[in-house]
Amino acid sequence: MAQPVLVKQSFLIALMTGAQAVMPALVAVICLYASVIAFGRDFDLSVVTVVLVLCLTMVRPPREVSIQLTSERTAAVADVMFHWCLLLIALLAIGYLTKALDGYPRRVFITWALVTPVGLILATLAMQEVMRRFLMSAFGNRSAIFAGYNNSSLELAKRLQRNPGMRIEVAGFFDDRSVDRLAMEAQTRLVGSLADVARYVNENGVDIIFVALPIRHIQRVMNLLDDLRDTTASIYYVPDIFVFDLIQARSGEIHGIPVVAMCETPFYGYRGVTKRLTDIAFSAGILLLTLPLFVLVAASVKLSSPGPVIFKQRRYGLDGREIQVYKFRTMRVTEDGAKIRQASKSDARITRIGSILRRSSLDELPQLINVLQGRMSLVGPRPHAVAHNEEYRKLIKGYMVRHKVLPGITGLAQVNGCRGETAQLEDMQARVNYDLDYLRYWTPMLDIKILFLTIFKVFRDEKAY
* 212 in the same domain as 117: no
Most confident range (mean pLDDT) of 52-61, 219-228, 372-381 is 372-381
The answer to whether residue 250 sits within a structural domain is: no
Q: What is the largest CA-CA distance in the chain?
A: 87
pLDDT attached to residue 384: 87
* 127 in the same domain as 156: no
**DSSP sequence for 36-89:** HHHTT----HHHHHHHHHHHHHHS---S-HHHHHHS-HHHHHHHHHHHHHHHHH
* 183 in the same domain as 131: no
What's the rounded Cα separation, in Å, for the pair 35 and 108?
A: 6
Nearest alpha-carbon partner for 86 in 62, 107, 61, 55: 55
Does the pLDDT at position 449 exceed 70?
A: yes
The answer to whether residue 63 sits within a structural domain is: yes
* 286 in the same domain as 387: yes
Residues 317 and 376: beta-carbon distance below 8 Å: yes
* 302 in the same domain as 176: no
Mean pLDDT of the 276-295 span: 90
Is beta strand 257-261 parallel, antiparallel or unpaired with respect to 190-192?
unpaired
pLDDT attached to residue 175: 92
pLDDT attached to residue 450: 93
Nearest alpha-carbon partner for 356 in 427, 305, 428: 305
What's the rounded Cα separation, in Å, for the pair 311 and 329?
A: 5
pLDDT attached to residue 174: 94
The answer to whether residue 194 sits within a structural domain is: yes
The answer to whether residue 253 sits within a structural domain is: no
The answer to whether residue 260 sits within a structural domain is: no
The answer to whether residue 404 sits within a structural domain is: yes
* 430 in the same domain as 295: yes
The answer to whether residue 229 sits within a structural domain is: yes
The answer to whether residue 161 sits within a structural domain is: yes
Mean pLDDT of the 7-32 span: 74
Q: What are the residue ranges of helices labelled H in 266-310?
A: 270-289, 291-304
> pLDDT class for 4, splitting at 50, 70, 90?
very low
Residues 108 and 39: beta-carbon distance below 8 Å: yes
Q: How far apart are the first and last CA of the chain?
A: 50
CA-based torsion, 282, 283, 288, 290: positive or negative: positive
Rounded percentage of the chain residues whose pLDDT exceeds 70: 82
Q: pTM score, two decimals?
A: 0.65
- Judged by phi (left if over 0) then psi (alpha if -120 to 50, else beta), residue 165 lies in alpha
Our separate counts of H helices and E strands in the chain read 18, 11
Of the two residues 405 and 140, the one the predictor is more confident about is 405
* 92 in the same domain as 153: no
Residues 27 and 116: beta-carbon distance below 8 Å: yes
**Where in the sequence is the domain holding 192, given as residue range(s)?**
142-243
Query: Crossing angle for the helix pair 73-98 and 106-138, nearest 10 degrees?
Result: 150
* 295 in the same domain as 227: no
Residues 16 and 130: beta-carbon distance below 8 Å: yes
Select from 104, 138, 172 the last residue of a domain. Answer: 138
Rounded percentage of the chain residues whose pLDDT exceeds 90: 18
- The chain-wide mean pLDDT, for the chain, equals 81
What's the rounded Cα separation, in Å, for the pair 193 and 153?
A: 15
pLDDT attached to residue 50: 82
* 309 in the same domain as 456: yes
* 233 in the same domain as 328: no
The amino acid occupying position 234 is S
Exposed/middle/buried for residue 169 (C-beta within 10 Å: 0-12, 13-18, 19+): middle
Select from 103, 121, 138 the last residue of a domain. Answer: 138
Neighbours of 47 (CB within 10 A): 20
Select from 99, 119, 138 the last residue of a domain. Answer: 138
Contacts of 420 (CB under 8 A, 6+ apart): 343, 461, 463, 464, 465
* 194 in the same domain as 109: no
* 274 in the same domain as 412: yes
Neighbours of 217 (CB within 10 A): 14
The amino acid occupying position 242 is F
What's the rounded Cα separation, in Å, for the pair 72 and 103?
A: 40
> pLDDT class for 5, splitting at 50, 70, 90?
very low
Out of 127-131, 235-239, 426-430, pick the least confident: 127-131
CATH code, domain carrying 173: 3.40.50.720
pLDDT attached to residue 433: 93
pLDDT single digits (tens) 381-419: 999 888 888 888 889 988 888 999 999 999 999 898 887
Out of 61-65, 191-195, 300-304, pick the least confident: 61-65
Neighbours of 201 (CB within 10 A): 25
For the CA atoms of the chain, what is the radius of gyration? Answer: 28
Exposed/middle/buried for residue 339 (C-beta within 10 Å: 0-12, 13-18, 19+): exposed
- Determine the 3-state secondary structure of 254 from DSSP: strand
Contacts of 298 (CB under 8 A, 6+ apart): 309, 310, 328
Count up the domains in the chain and report the number: 3
